[in-house]
Structure 1
């Protein structure tokens, strides 16, 4: 029996002689979209910290600077803790950065389908550009914080939108998206540091970064080869009219055959958008994917924000600040490698990764408490391993959601499941605050 068409089957990729070229273009396009979507978020954090430090040293408001600066100042005379702590955990920064993204991912999947993808991309690019401009020209602390919030909005809305967008293309673009988001952390932080080290001011560096939102727009509108079924600039009325096209109608008919009960009421018409009740039904089925992903990110960011700054080795060739920067670099390297590995290895049982990451977090928690690790090289290995687990959980979760979810529900499922990592990160931030306080009081 002939298999029904799927949203992931791009008709353009079936053309002889051009299919491979189209597939490569789309893979590169999603790699750039992943890079640009997370790039502003990564760079904005580093830039905001630099500018806030300058503003607060001018205003002599040291308490706020301590809350928003993630670097370490070794030998702080006011710090009597054996862990050389910052007065406030870096988890405070994490919460400020993730909460706007969490809010968007909680509510946007229920209404975002009314906004065409082209408009979403322009909105995300505008938010990212605005964040760069706000922080680069900020004259007060609140302007810098607002810039970080705008970057978070751009990143959160972009992630759920681009994950949903992948269902209209070959599943191979998920590998491109995952690899691009992994590269954003490493390339973003590295490029910002290099430009600053070269003598450029944070303001000039941020203005140079305005090329990133522009690249996002170019990647979507000029590089991607979008299939005819993709709704881009349609209004609500024309969208319903477009759904009767041959490819889209074949998809909806096949979904109707698989789930005849979903079309028995007027509320759940197979040719219309998902009803609210149907979306809640889909969400209940997603918990088997979302829960393991959330656990991985909870334990991962508990390590990053609650423990990493406390894993400090005295009297070695690296300062405390340098050790922390290497931790972050190796973590981002692990994420990049594993998010780019989907073509080589696929892991269906993501819960195994959540168990391994939990064990990793428990081990490092005891390492912080009892200080039994003899060398920083062991910590480097555990941090790299942590990044590998986190990146693998991300790409495999969305790969199998795309593969196993019914055609009619796939677009919404990809957007709704993106709440898993943000929810885990938020809980990690809340847990990390009291843990940091406890260790710093010793």
Structure 2
């Protein structure tokens, strides 16, 4: 207890909370309030940076698609190479991995592969080599997302673990805005220099992991007001660490916790039968809502949004719209900006302190998303909103609103699904009274949250396949009714 108070005193003095040499007894109140806040800020910032940096290269590559491949090459090949390796990782890695996750080794490897991928894109002009670099970056991004979500389950109590997921989701949402802005600023330097400068970004991940991220043992005494709704069936149990593992966590940094199993003699590895038993209940409850949301969301973004174009507004008739839209090529980037901004806001709901969706409502974002897709497809095909004298302003405003709803639904589905899986209780009736049973419970939590990623990856991949004929069909339909703007793109 005396050592704990001394550490609190040093932290409080270094933060300017107490003058140097102040009596330690005065920290009974100050230390309990300020030290946990500092730890939670560091934890939240760490996971926010993990989400931001892990996803920002994905956005930069998509934003740079026109500059990375020759004009005659379909841009869809960029989207395919940017998602397929990530999907393979999310599909196979949780099932192939056995035993403890070696977080330090994995995250350093992810950063190295990302840097290598961006270097390849910058160094070579050939299409094959650039696609290879994109595949490397995609592989690293998929494995990184899987790893950070699994890492969140190593924090306790449950409110702190949920805090980590909320900030990670917020960081992934911010990546859309930051990535698009970065490439807008860097594209003038050319692909070689712009992408080359972007390659330093993955180095933020290991630096954050080793230098900023608090150890799980450091925040184990911190608790937050529970955000789990009263009617929820999920309420994660916190299993106290054994004394031997508590000592190990106090001496070994978070990145070296994989060595704890060897120190304590725990040799636990989930079998394929164990993993299949764990994943079956998750399919309908979490995976299908996430799959549907992403399928509808990316079909809108890639297949419908490019056809949602209207005549360029004139300053006399539309003074506000004319300041935003200067050519028909401005509509699609605007829709993407609206989408990314709403995704960021909705993925940040938990980090902003809003309660999660009730478990029974996890499918609502997918249902709303389906209606948004239908309405936008009809608007593109038959022009639901653009009739009459003020039809242009009405269509612009309604499409703006619907794409905002699309982004909100996608962000809410992502953050709430992963938060719910993170907070799920261990199997009922299983005694966690031995070191082996506790380690098995931890590996089960890691596997469950890692197995969910296949749902959003599969939805994006299927949407990229569906979107090509969808865009072509909608454009032909517009031309058939005398609207030829889509042909001018």
Normalised-by-shorter TM-score class? 0.7 to 0.9
The count of residues paired between Structure 1 and Structure 2 equals: 369
Question: 1:130-209 residue pairs with structure 2 within 5 A?
Answer: 130-169=116-155, 170=160, 171-196=162-187, 199-209=188-198
Q: What is the aligned counterpart of 2:93 among 108, 130, 133? A: 108
CA distance in 2, matches of 1:338, 1:345: 12
Q: Distance in 1 between matches of 2:460 and 2:453?
A: 12
Other-structure match for 2:212: 223
1:345-369 residue CA offsets vs partner (Å, 9 max, x unmatched): 3112210111111111111111111
RMSD after superposition? 2.3
1:242 and 2:252 equivalent?
Answer: no
Report the Cα distance in structure 2 between the residues aligned to 1:93 and 1:436, rounded to whole angstroms.
17
Q: State the secondary structure of the residue aligned to 1:23.
A: helix
Deviation of 1:226 (Å)? 2.0
Structure 2 equivalent of residue 254 of structure 1: none
Select 2:294's aligned residue among 293, 297, 304: 297
Change (3 A) 1:315 1:44: closer
Q: Which residue of 1 aligns with 2:367?
A: 355
CA distance in 2, matches of 1:93, 1:111: 28
Query: Is the CA contact (8 Å cut-off) linking 1:405 and 1:413 kept in structure 2?
Result: no
CA distance, structure 2, for counterparts of residue 338 and residue 137 of structure 1: 37
The answer for unaligned runs of 5 or more in structure 1 is: 1-14, 57-61, 69-89, 245-270
Specify the structure having the higher radius of gyration (Cα).
Answer: 2
1:71-127 deviations in Å (ceiling 9; x for gaps): xxxxxxxxxxxxxxxxxxx4x543332111111111000133555111111111112
Question: CA shift at 1:410, angstroms?
Answer: 1.3
How many angstroms does 1:200 deviate by? 2.3
Query: Does residue 212 in structure 1 map to residue 201 in structure 2?
Result: yes
Q: CA deviation at 1:284?
A: 0.2
Of structures 1 and 2, the one scoring higher in RCO (CA 8 A, sep 6+) is 1
1:381 is aligned to 2:401: yes
Distance in 1, matches of 2:450 and 2:184, equals 33
4+ aligned runs moved over 3 Å, structure 1: 112-115, 228-236, 240-244
TM-score, length basis structure 2:
0.71
**Structure 2 gap segments, 5+ residues each:** 1-30, 218-248, 314-321, 387-394, 427-440, 478-489
What are the equivalent positions in structure 2 for 1:259-278 lying under 5 Å apart? 272-278=268-274
In the other structure, the counterpart of 1:25 is 42
Distance apart, 1:233 and its partner CA: 4.3
Please name the residue that 1:414 is paired with. Answer: 449
Q: Give the Å deviation of 1:420.
A: 1.3
Native 8 Å contact 1:185 1:332 kept in 2: yes
Pair 1:63-2:49 in alignment: no
SS at match of 1:225: coil
Within 5 Å, give how 1:24-43 maps onto structure 2. 24-43=41-60
Would the aligned equivalents of 1:48 and 1:144 in 2 still touch at CA under 8 Å? no
